[in-house]
Amino acid sequence: MPSLLDWLAWLPENASTYGADIDGIIAIIWYTTVAWFLLCFAATSVATVYHYAFGWEAPYAVFSLPVLLGTLGGIGLLIGPAGLFVLARRRDAALTDPRHSGMDTAFIVMLFLTSLTGLLLLVLRDTSAMGILLSIHLGVVLGLFLSLPYGKFVHGLYRYLALVKYAVERRRGAFLD
């Protein structure tokens, strides 16, 4: 199985705006923890099956699968966006487009707030604050989903397609238009 350094060696020199130094490796770690949102998606999917297939009502036990998956995903979504926010502030200004910094920052903040409100909801679910916290959390999630097509989230798809195109061109020895 290839290591992280093997994967980094495959990347073209300009694959990261962080450069080939340690910041590039750290950025990959932050992006990986952001990808833990898939655990949150899995938690929601499992909870949906619990509810509709088995008739089990939320809130679920602390050590149930939806809660464990959501907690791990939520922790990743606190760590990853915080790290990416710090790295973005350290990035060379010549490599950034100031016109997009607002949406880039907004996306990172929305990911962080989604996780923060979700974890707060878990911690305070047995209190009278649960109703208002649930409303706030669902509002933040809705805001995140409404902003997806306009911000950094679409970048993941475009970046993947650019790397595939680069690999095809490199293999053929020619550049595609």
Mean per-residue pLDDT of the chain: 80
**How many Å apart are CA 129 and CA 62, to the nearest integer?**
18
Pick 23 or 50 by higher pLDDT. 50
Crossing angle, helix 37-54 and helix 65-90, to 10 degrees? 160
Band the pLDDT of 158: cuts 50, 70, 90: confident
Q: Nearest to residue 31, comparing CAs of 76, 67, 74, 75?
A: 76
Whether 121 is covered by a domain: the verdict is yes
Whether 177 is covered by a domain: the verdict is no
Q: How many CB atoms lie within 10 A of CB 30?
A: 22
pLDDT one-digit tens code per residue, 110-147: 989 999 999 999 999 999 999 999 999 999 999 988 88
**How many Å apart are CA 53 and CA 68, to the nearest integer?**
20
Q: How far apart are the first and last CA of the chain?
A: 34
Q: How many CB atoms lie within 10 A of CB 65?
A: 15
Whether 28 is covered by a domain: the verdict is yes
pLDDT (mean) for 18-39: 69
pLDDT of residue 175: 59
Whether 80 is covered by a domain: the verdict is yes
Band the pLDDT of 153: cuts 50, 70, 90: low
Instruction: Evaluate if residue 17 carries a pLDDT over 60.
Output: no
Band the pLDDT of 105: cuts 50, 70, 90: confident
pLDDT one-digit tens code per residue, 44-80: 999 999 999 999 998 899 999 999 999 999 999 898 8
The parent domain of residue 90 ranges over 4-172
Kindly tell me the burial class for residue 14, based on how many C-beta atoms sit within 10 Å of its own C-beta (0-12, 13-18, 19 or more).
exposed
Whether 129 is covered by a domain: the verdict is yes
**How many Å apart are CA 21 and CA 142, to the nearest integer?**
37
Q: Which amino acid is at 30?
A: W
pLDDT of residue 19: 52
Pick 99 or 115 by higher pLDDT. 115
Pick 54 or 87 by higher pLDDT. 54
Instruction: Evaluate if residue 90 carries a pLDDT over 80.
Output: no
Whether 140 is covered by a domain: the verdict is yes
Kindly tell me the burial class for residue 62, based on how many C-beta atoms sit within 10 Å of its own C-beta (0-12, 13-18, 19 or more).
exposed
**How many Å apart are CA 45 and CA 2, to the nearest integer?**
31
Whether 163 is covered by a domain: the verdict is yes
Number of domains in the chain: 1
